[in-house]
Structure 1
Amino acid sequence: MEHTMISKLFEPVTIGSWKLRTRTAMAPMTRCFADVQTGIVGEDVVEYYRRRAADGIGLIITEGIVISPRAKGNPGVPGLYTQEQINMWKKVTKAVHREGGTIIAQIWHVGRASHHEIAGNLPPQAPSAIRAEGKVSRFGKPFDIPEEMSIDDIKEVVGQYTQAAINAIEAGFDGVEVHGAHGYLIDQFNSDLSNHRTDRYGGDLAGRLTFMKEVLKEVIDAVGANRTLIRFSALKIDQPDYMWDDPEEAIQTFIEACKEVGMTMIHPSTMEFTKTIADGKTMHQLVRKYWDGVIVGVGDLNAETAEQAIAEGTIDIAAFGRPLLANPDFLHRLEKGEKIISYDPKTHLKELI
């Protein structure tokens, strides 16, 4: 594909407080290369992000970074709750900024998608005491039965998200993405599969979104709406085929919640960007129907589908995941019409290149 055919993808754009070199993003991808005991990243992670910045990626969204020891769901995921963790992330952000890049931290709590041996020898936290289906990734043991969060627990965790956002800015990040997708803690509150509460955090979807709204309000107060992104989805890690009963109504409810708290940028997540889910429309087309702010699109995009979606106005930024794992010089290859290396989990899951 020639550069002239993908001109939209290479346009500079300003979204929120970020002046991006291209309309591209590096999607957040769990890598598990931090120190298992301390959650501190190493020089290999610094170089990993630096290389993608050097390629010209517009917005780098980091792998999920946990907000507390109890938020952890896999061995080797990084944290953003100790000074030592913050200090090492400073090296990452400086390296990215030296290359002219923009990088935000995805702040993360896995909720029930964990095991007490990973989560500081405490039971995982969740809106209700309902076990997730399946086993902990890269650990192999079944998910634990979680502990239902009290009102005090909820307040404490909202505070941890807020502090992680503040810590991200201290570490030199240009902002944060709140991970509200894929069956992790915020999405566990959002979903009727995992939230059977009868208080104000439960009930219909609008009620179940209360926890997400409280997190977003506090994060926006701390770092600004122009530096805050929210990721949401129907997709669950323990139920990959899950879809809302009425996708359009659910999306409308999510959008109303985002507007209510003052969000200006959102990141709806799906595994298949081009798949229609209601009324002949894709997830992102339905989102655009109700949202005129910034949309980051993701879901197995390639150059052609990304270019088309940007040109149509469905999305503003196209996020790529696996192609960027296999090709640190992904944009260079696109621009020069060079071959894109296919993602190989046997190689690319185990290496930071």
Structure 2
Amino acid sequence: MKNSKLLSAFNSQNLNLKNHVVMAPMTRSRAINNLPNNIMATYYSQRATAGLIITEATSPSKNGLGYINIPAIYSKEQITGWKKTTQAVHNNNGKIFLQIMHTGRIGHQLNLPKGGEVMAPSAIQAAGEVLTSEGLKPFPIPLEMTTTDIKQTQKEFVEAAKNAIEAGFDGIEIHAANGYLADQFLNKGTNQRTDNYGGSVENRTRFLIELTKEIAKEIGNNKTAIRISPYGVFNDMALYKEISETYYYLIEKLNTLDLAYLHMVSLSEDIPEGFLEDLGKEFSGNVIFNGGFGFDLERAEKVVFENDKNLVSIGFPFIANPDLVERIERGADYNEPNQDTLYTFGKEGYIDYPILETTK
């Protein structure tokens, strides 16, 4: 795909990248004891030919660590650990944003450090099970957050964003998708509050809009971004009548903040045809589209040609292809990922995939 727009430089007021290819955030469970480490730095630096890397979901607090061995960024030790990654990526001429995610009700007490609590907008248990140190366990009934809990959690997000900048990240992405805490506030199925953070569209979006404003105020609007998944049902999220209304209202409010980008996930079969495209046009800034583009490069090329503010994010192909951008450019075949090592603890299936020069 030589001379393609996908591989050309992307320049806007708030974001300048060497190409239109974004590495999507993907949990890989290598952060033993929730600490970023050397092999994580190697993993991300190997993939620095992407125009932008968005890291795996990273918790802003003890309460947000619902999964085993996901990273966090609320302690000095964690900040120091992440500096290894940002330095390695920047040394390879890459750019990297940290995705900040609080798991909310999607987690288990066994996975949280001492003092952590499983909490959510409402005390509604998610269907399904989660892996813990004692094997698979049903999701618990979360504690319903008080107003004090909400304000404290927003402060934790803001501190995490400041910590990310201290660690050398080029910006942060708020994870408000896929059924985690910020998405739980947006959704009527998981948010059945009767106060100012529940009920109406304005109230259900309040948590996310407030914390986005505070983060942008602290670290800069051009370093602040957000990820959403309209009509997504992952993690036992419900479909409800006001979905479109909720997200159009959210976009209207986000347009006042001049953010780095809006990242939209399209994994649901329930999304009305053309909805994400229309939502992207309503957003005044840069838009990253996600959903199968690594395996459909013609569609990816079409998306970036449609609008100068559009980019695409690619997830799964980056796992086994650290040199994915070069493979796209040369039309080379992709390595196949080792399914057995996606969430294991070592180097195998993580930083040992061959690059083109060593592939026969």
TM-score w.r.t. the length of structure 1 is 0.91
Correspondence for 1:48: 43
C-alpha distance in 1, partners of 2:78/2:256? Answer: 33
Q: Distance in 2 between matches of 1:243 and 1:343?
A: 33
- 2:320 paired with 1:326: yes
1:71 aligned partner: 64
| Deviation at residue 175 of structure 1 after TM alignment | 0.5
1:92 paired with 2:88, answer no
Tell me: CA distance 1:70–1:247, structure 2 relative to 1, closer, same or farther (3 Å): closer
User: For the residues of structure 2 that align with 1:265 and 1:102, how far apart are their CA atoms?
Assistant: 14
For the residues of structure 1 that align with 2:102 and 2:207, how far apart are their CA atoms? 13
1:204 to 191, 200, 225: 200
For 1:261 and 1:13, locate their aligned partners in 2 and report how far apart those are by CA, in whole Å: 21
> Which secondary structure does the structure 2 equivalent of 1:141 belong to?
strand
Matches within 5 A, 1:1-353: 2-4=1-3, 7-15=4-12, 17-36=14-33, 39-53=34-48, 56-120=49-113, 122-137=116-131, 140-234=136-230, 235-239=232-236, 242-245=238-241, 247-263=243-259, 265-271=261-267, 277-278=271-272, 280-281=273-274, 283-301=275-293, 302-313=296-307, 316-350=310-344, 351-353=349-351
Note the C-alpha offset of 1:259: 2.0
Asked if structure 2 preserves the Cα contact closer than 8 Å seen for 1:18 and 1:174, the reply is no
Query: 2 CA distance for matches of 1:322 and 1:101?
Result: 19
Aligned-pair CA distance for 1:250: 3.4
One-letter amino acid matched to 2:130: V
The answer as to whether partners of 1:288 and 1:314 remain within 8 angstroms in 2 is no
Larger deviation, residues 171-180 vs 306-315: 306-315
CA contact (8 A) 1:123 1:144 kept: no
User: How big is the shift at 1:157?
Assistant: 0.5
Return structure 1 stretches of 4+ with deviation > 4 angstroms: none
The Cα offsets for residues 147-172 of structure 1, whole Å up to 9 and x where unpaired, read as 11111111111000000000000000
Amino acid at match of 2:340: K
Aligned-residue sequence identity (percent) comes to 36
CA 1:225 to 1:331, structure 2 compared with 1: closer, same or farther past 3 Å? Answer: same
Which shows bigger deviation, 71-80 or 242-251? 242-251
For residues 50 and 179 of structure 2, the distance between their equivalents in structure 1, rounded to whole angstroms, comes to 28
For residue 348 of structure 1, report the CA deviation from its aligned partner.
4.0
Name the amino acid aligned to 2:2. Answer: H
**Which SS does the other structure have where 1:10 is aligned?**
coil
Measured against aligned partners, the alpha-carbon deviations of 1:162-199 in whole angstroms (never above 9, x if no partner) come to: 00000000000001001111110111111101101111
Residue 251 of structure 1: how far off its partner (Å): 2.9
**Gaps in structure 1 of 5+ consecutive residues:** none
Task: Give the distance between the partners of 1:23 and 1:326, measured in 2 at CA.
Answer: 20
Q: Which runs of 5+ in 2 are unaligned?
A: 352-360
Tell me how far 1:120 sits from its aligned partner. 3.0
Residues in 2 aligned to 1:344 and 1:311: alpha-carbon distance in whole angstroms: 33
Say if 2:29 and 2:343, in contact at 8 Å, map to a contact too: no
How many residues get paired? 341
Deviation at 1:115, TM superposition (A): 0.9
Kept after mapping to 2: 8 A contact 1:130/1:145: yes
Which whole-Å CA distance do the structure 1 matches of 2:350 and 2:137 have between them?
25
Specify the alignment match of 2:356 in structure 1.
Answer: none
- The letter for the 2-side match of 1:130 is I
TM superposition shift of 1:246 = 5.2
More displaced, 142-151 or 113-122? 113-122
Deviations 1:219-259 (A, max 9, x none): 0011111011100113243237x545355433312211312
SS at match of 1:169: helix
The whole-number CA distance in structure 2 between the counterparts of 1:337 and 1:115 is 44
**Deviation of the 1:292 alpha carbon:** 3.0
Partners of 1:191 and 1:205 within 8 A in 2: no
In structure 2, what residue type is equivalent to 1:32? S
Q: What TM-score do you get using the length of structure 2 for normalisation?
A: 0.89
